[in-house]
Amino acid sequence: MFSKRMNRALLLAFSICASGVMATNLRAAAPEVINFRLAQWKAAHFDDAKSAEANFKTLKQLGCEVEQDQHCGHFDVRYRCPSWRSISFNSHDDAHRWERWLKASGFETSHKH
pLDDT at 32 over 70: yes
Give the closest residue to 84 by CA, choosing from 38, 48, 41, 15: 38
Contact 78, 41 (CB under 8 A): yes
Domain ranges, ordered by start, for the chain: 4-112
Per-residue pLDDT band for 112 (boundaries 50, 70, 90) equals: confident
% of the chain with per-residue pLDDT over 90: 66
Pairing verdict, β 32-46 and 108-112: antiparallel
Beta bridge partners of 86: 24, 35
Higher confidence at residue 5 or residue 102?
Answer: 102
Chain segment 33-88, per-residue pLDDT in tens: 999 999 999 999 999 999 999 999 999 999 999 999 998 889 999 999 999 999 99
One-letter amino acid at 81 equals C
